Every structure is written in structure tokens, then in C-alpha cells.
A and B are shown apart, each in its own frame.
Chain A
């Protein structure tokens, strides 16, 4: 899997990602967009640029406004304030049927009274494309999604995965400027979902199209997208590539939402150009290899991912980083991993996880054992928000 060209970790970053080509013009620009429903803001003064050929995921819990954002771009909702630009032009007032964007619906929304071919051809018929061309394009796109020979079937004669691909083909056949995907994999079962992730990524790579995906599944967002926009209560809290979201979250909320984390409340003691020292209630003194731009005494938070914490029966000998003694409260055995909850001498409960690399490793540390936890000085991230 690691050597697959479509794995996000082995993949080149997009050509126009911000910071790589600062002169690039965004394909889609949300400019201070606000949308309220009955006085409640679903999206609030949100600004986001999306570039050509990018695969961006909007990630957030349900009700965070991510679907509303997508529906505003599709034209089903009108922003109350702000502008949405497509190719530099304001698309306010353009009805959905005239926008060069197409959507893959969460429920797929396949027309049950039409065949697969009829569903895929539907959009082209609205454009008055000549019959011969429609036939050709429908055939090509069904081939692309590996549904050749299915054009006479009705949607109810297809499996879940096949329906998903019909929905994809139906949206792609229009050759939109942007493809919008609303929870595209949520209706599939787990195994199929993981296979389909790679299929979608490969497809996007091959046809070179901008994908905007809405999802509440962080694994999906991490594995598939070039950039993730994390949303919370109608606001965009962080936009960055997946690794940065995970390793350098910009707030407690993002750190807690994406992956598992220990949040340790601390006070800044001192900060230099290469590192800083913090006094943490319930844990002790931590040194972190990160410069912090705040006056000494500020209340801060250290985010520490469980897999960055080492658990050992003997005290570690390396002096770099931090180590503390504690006792194992309980162990959650997940097969590939084990999750340890460890109570430090000060009372603070810390989560640590370790891969069970040797078949008997899980048996080595038991509940109630006295252990030592340690982590390197670059393991934690200092969060100011």
C-alpha cells in the first residue's frame, strides 16, 4: 500500500497549493460568506480559496456548516452575506441548473424511474447535446467507472457500490469545473469504503478535476485529500495538508477533533529560539522543542498524541525530553494497537498507545503495573488557543 502512487503520503502536493505557487488564481473563492437559518448562523464570515486540480476535504462534526457551504456552491442555498466567486466571477443569483459545478449526493439521488444510462444521460440532455455525442460520452464515462454494460439496469438492480459509481458518473459526464461530493462514501460498508477511497483518488488524479468533499470521517479526509478544511460551528478553524492538521493542529479543538490526544494545561516558564519550558499542573515541568510567542506566565496547552508516548517498565536513560513514573489503570487491546491509561504519581491520567509488534508484547505490561512514560522534546505541540 505504501508504494501505491495514489497514497496521499507518497503523492506529490498539488501544483497550486497555497505557499507553493502564491501567484495562482483560485478556482473557487468563498469571500466572507455568511448563511443564517432562522437567526442561527450555519456559516459565519467564512473565507476559503480552492485551487485548480485540488482535492479538498471539508471536515467537521454534523451541524458545523460544511454541507451548507457545499450547497451554497451548488446553488441550493443563497449566502446572506459575502460572495462566492467561480473563476473570478460572482455566481450569486445563478440558479443551480446553470452552474458549471456538479454534485454527488449523499443518498446518490439516482432517479429510480430511469435506467443507469438514462440517469447518466440526464444532464447532457438538459444541455441539448446531440444524441450521438450523448451516447458516446455516456459509454465512455461508464467505462471509466467500470460499469460497462450496465446502462439498461435500473438503480434498484445495482449494489451499493455500483450505485455510488453511477452517481459519480452522472456528475462527471457533465465535465464540471468542480465536483462536489457530499459524504460520498458514507452509504457504503467499511470494506468497500476503503477500496472506493483509492478508486476516487485515482480517478481524480487521472481526469485532473477539482474535488470538494464534505465528510465527518477524519480517516477519509486524511487519506484522500490534498488539503483539509476543519470546520467548527460555521467557521473554518484550520486549513492545511493532512499531516499538518494532525501534527501541527492550531487549536485545542482541532487537536481533539482529529485523532486522539492528551491535552495538558500548562503555564509558560520561559521560551527561547529553539525551545521552551512549561510548568504543567498535575504533570510537572516539560521542555518542548518549539518556540512560543507569549509572555512568561501565560496559560497554554500541550497536545501530546498517545502514540508519541513510550511506555516502559524501566526508567529511560536518555535525558532528552520528559519522563514520569506512573501506574497502569487499564489497557484497551485493539489487536494492532494497545491503548494504555496511565496514572502519573501526581494523579494526572495520560493516554499512550503502542503497536503490538511482537506477538507477545501485549502481555508484557499488565494492569496495575508500575511503569515509566517518556516522550521526546519534539513530541508535544504547544497550543495557544
Chain B
């Protein structure tokens, strides 16, 4: 359905995007505010970024969050890709309905329920809560997002490519790694990125499943924000936004290259 945009369409898009971006833009601008009062503009300054450098608690929380995000996203990517392969290629195996239910439920489950449930599991098996329990919890939550991303790519994947590899003498597992995986890689990478940002973002599940000594960045920010608006938080936020923006641009370039190759390969059929 493409027929060009009417005035109404353009207005809707402009208002929608303004609504999405204006708060973020304001946040970024005010992170360079020299004034301590958040609402008063005191000229451009990078003082809050410098203040951040000496905020050891914040830096430590950021480092913990990045490590958790990296590990949990990696585990989630492996598990989520396996689940996607199972759902697309597994055919009608027994328990498929239950399995797909388990995969899609965490997508919409309120975090507060998932967090509580995971905490009680860790209490029941009596493991020490902290870095690793948060990592496990995040891997579980984010693997489902990876599955959805990889699954939609696998569904449009031409099965005859893998069959061709097997026909030419390649055992099934090797065929998956030499032909299928390189071709769906952009989706797998996008899944990893998504899992990484979701983990970096999560407050509720981390609050439930962490233990003493492992305060993640969102937990740290949350406790600061509850006290009121602080200019340092604007600076932290701006840095995180910048990191995500860079990541997204890299991902866009990677997937675009993949999409172009794919489009040309299937273009004039």
C-alpha cells in the first residue's frame, strides 16, 4: 500500500516522531547545561561529564551492567537461535504448543512477575545472588526476543540452499554452519544487539535477582532519580544514548549489506 503521503499522513508522522524524539533531545541538551539547577540554562559546559568520571559507584555499576549485558546477550543468542531453529525446522514435534508458549510468554509477561519468580527459584535452590543470577535471568528473558528476530529471518530463508549443500556432500550440521548461519547472521547479530540493550536497560528483574554488591547501572540511576533530577544523570543518559546510536548505525550498515546481497540474489526470480 504505497500511494504517496497525504498532508494528514505527513502531519501524523511529524507529530509522532516529535513526540518520540523531543524528550531525548532535551535530555541531551540539558546534559551540557552548566547550571546545577536542571531547569535553568546556564550556558554550555561538560562539567557533569567530568563529575561522572569521579563517581566511582556509578562507573562500577556501569561496568557490572556492561559485563552482564555482554554475557547474557551471548547466552541468549545461542539459546534463542536454537529455539528459532527448533520452531522453524522442528516440524510437528511433541510438545510444540507448550514449547512455543514458553518462548512467546516472556515477551509480554510483566517484568515484575518474571523477576519475582526467578528470585524465588534462586532462593529455592539456594544459590548466592548477584552477578551470575542477574546474568541468568537476563539470558532467559532476552533469548525470547532473539528467537523472534531469528525466526522471522529463518522463515524467509530458502531451504533449498541448505539442501543444495547437503546434496553436494555436506553433512547437515556443517551445512547449517557453512551456509545457513552466514546468511542469517545479520538477524543473529541484530538479536544479540537487542538482547544486549534489553539487559542494559532492565531495572525490575535485576532488582529482584541481584544480591549485595552487584548494583547494576539502571538500579543505580533509579535510586538517584528517586531523589529528584540530577544533572549527572543527564550526562550518563546521554552517553548511553550515544552508545546505542553508534551500535544501531553499525547494525544498520551490517544488515543493509546483508539485505542488498539477499535482494540481488533473489531479485529477478
A187 at the interface (CB under 8 A from B): yes
A359 to chain B, nearest CB (A): 39
- Set of chain B residues within 8 Å of A160, measured between Cβ atoms: 268
The answer to whether A174 and B172 have CB atoms under 8 Å apart is: no
- Map CB proximity to B onto A66-105 as digits: 1 under 8 Å, 0 otherwise: 0000000011100000000000000000011110011101
B163 touches A105 (CB 8 A): yes
Among the listed stretches A120-128, A230-238, A265-273, A286-294, which one makes contact with chain B, having 4 or more residues with CB under 8 Å of it? A120-128
B264 CB within 8 Å of chain A: yes
Given A106, A113, A127, A155, which contacts B169 in the complex, CB threshold below 8 Å?
Answer: A127
Please state if A126 and B170 are interface contacts (CB–CB under 8 Å): yes
- Are A106 and B160 also in contact (CB < 8 A) when A111-B179, A123-B168 are? yes
Of the candidates A75, A98, A107, A154, the one whose C-beta lies within 8 Å of that of B158 is A107
A112 contacts the other chain (CB 8 A): yes
- A110 to B261 Cα, complex, angstroms: 12
- Minimum CB–CB distance from A76 to chain B (whole Å) comes to 6
Whether B163 contacts A76 by the Cβ 8 Å rule is: yes
A170 nearest CB neighbor, chain B only = B168
Residues in A neighbouring B166, C-beta threshold 8 A:
75-76, 95-97
How many residue pairs link A and B with beta carbons under 8 A? The number is: 79
* A113–B262 alpha-carbon span in the complex (Å): 9
B164 contact set on A, CB distance < 8 A:
103, 105, 109-111, 170
B183: chain A residues at CB < 8 Å are 111-113
Q: Given A109-B161, A187-B269, A103 and B167 touching (CB < 8 A)? A: yes
Question: Residue on A with the closest CB to B267?
Answer: A156
Return chain A residues, CB-CB under 8 Å to B158: 107, 109
Please, how many residues of chain B have a CB less than 8 angstroms from a CB on the other chain?
25
Task: Look across to chain B and name the residue whose beta carbon is closest to the beta carbon of A110.
Answer: B265
Measured between beta carbons, the chain A residues less than 8 angstroms from B262 are 112
Chain B 246-269 against A: per-residue CB contact (8 Å), 1 yes, 0 no?
000000000000000110110111
The answer to whether B182 has its CB under 8 Å from any CB of chain A is yes
Q: How far is the CA of A96 from the CA of B171 in the complex (A)?
A: 8
Instruction: Enumerate A167-201 residues with CB–CB distance to B below 8 Å.
Output: 170-171, 174, 187
Residues of chain B with a CB closer than 8 A to A101's CB: 167
Q: Which residue of A lies closest to B265 (CB)?
A: A112
Q: Shortest CB–CB separation between residue B167 and chain A, in angstroms? A: 5
Across-interface contacts of B179 in A (CB, < 8 A): 111
Q: Which of A24-50 contact B (CB under 8 A)?
A: none
- Count of chain A residues near B, Cβ 8 A: 31
Q: A122 CA to B182 CA in the complex, in Å?
A: 15
**1/0 per residue A150-169: CB within 8 Å of B?**
00001111001000000000
- Which residues on B sit within 8 Å (CB–CB) of A75? 166-167
- Contact status B167-A74, CB under 8 Å: yes
Q: Are B169 and A123 in contact (CB under 8 A)?
A: yes
Shortest Cβ distance from A157 into B: residue: B264
Q: Find chain B residues with CB under 8 A from A174 CB.
A: 168-169
| CB atoms of B165 and A122 under 8 A apart | yes
Instruction: Out of B163, B168, B261, name the residue touching A156 (CB < 8 Å).
Output: B261
- Give the Cβ gap from B23 to chain A, nearest Cβ, in Å: 41
Partner of A95, one of B160, B172, B269: B172
Beta-carbon nearest neighbor of B168 in chain A:
A123
> A152 to nearest B CB, angstroms?
16
Question: How far does the Cβ of A44 sit from chain B's closest Cβ, in whole Å?
Answer: 23
Residue of A nearest to B92 (CB): A38
A105 → B minimal CB distance (Å): 5
Chain B contacts for A187, CB-based, 8 A: 269
User: Chain B's nearest CB lies how many Å from the CB of A345?
Assistant: 52
Q: Which residues of chain A have C-beta atoms less than 8 A from B160's C-beta?
A: 105-107, 109
B152 nearest CB across to chain A (Å): 18
Report the minimal beta-carbon distance from A138 to chain B, rounded to whole angstroms. 13
Taking the closest CB of chain B, its distance from the CB of A141, in whole angstroms, is 13
A and B contact pairs by CB, cutoff 8 A, 6 listed: A75-B166, A76-B163, A96-B167, A101-B167, A111-B164, A170-B168
Query: Which residue numbers of B lie inside 8 Å of A, CB to CB?
Result: 158, 160-161, 163-172, 174-175, 179, 182-183, 261-262, 264-265, 267-269
Since A97-B172, A110-B265, A127-B169 are in contact, a sample of 14 more A-B pairs with Cβ atoms closer than 8 Å, ordered by chain A residue number, is A76-B166, A95-B166, A95-B171, A97-B167, A97-B168, A97-B175, A105-B160, A105-B163, A107-B158, A109-B158, A111-B164, A112-B183, A170-B168, A171-B168
User: Residues of A at under 8 Å CB distance from B?
Assistant: 74-76, 95-98, 101-103, 105-107, 109-113, 122-123, 126-127, 154-157, 160, 170-171, 174, 187
8 shortest interchain CB distances as A-B pairs: A156-B264, A123-B168, A126-B169, A112-B265, A109-B164, A109-B160, A96-B166, A105-B160
